[in-house]
Amino acid sequence: ANGEKLEAWYSGTFNDLTATSQLKVYFAGTAIADTGALTVSAIGGWKIDVALIRVSSTVVRYVVNISTPGASTAIYTSSGELTGLTLSNTNIIKITGTAGGGTGGNSDITAKSGSIYWYGSAAN
């Protein structure tokens, strides 16, 4: 129903100071947040917070905050609206972490935990 909301959070670690890391968040196959290439200066944690609210049967609004305190930029915020969706079908929230350069490879970025919450609309 219109007004329904999903909130999600994910956390993990950067494990390699020589790799160029990147975090992305997708909803329904569309990238809604992207840190771009990060220079990690301290091995440590990252956290992603996502909020999505249904506006209509084909539109959602979103806000994403990505905290990367050990990287070249510490906070990334992305907000906007996705249109042309089919919300009666399954849509997926997905995060990806990639690392390249230096010794970029397996285990440079580790996901540790996450959770998703659904809130009904005020009319439900």
- Measured in whole angstroms, the distance separating CA 42 from the mean position of its chain's CA atoms is 21
How far out from the chain centre does Cα 36 lie?
A: 12
* pTM score of the predicted model: 0.89
Share of the chain above pLDDT 70, in %: 94
66 and 32 Cβ atoms separated by less than 8 Å: no
Assigned token pair, 100: 């390249």
What is the C-alpha end-to-end distance of the chain, expressed in Å?
Answer: 8
Whether the per-residue pLDDT at 73 is higher than 90: the answer is no
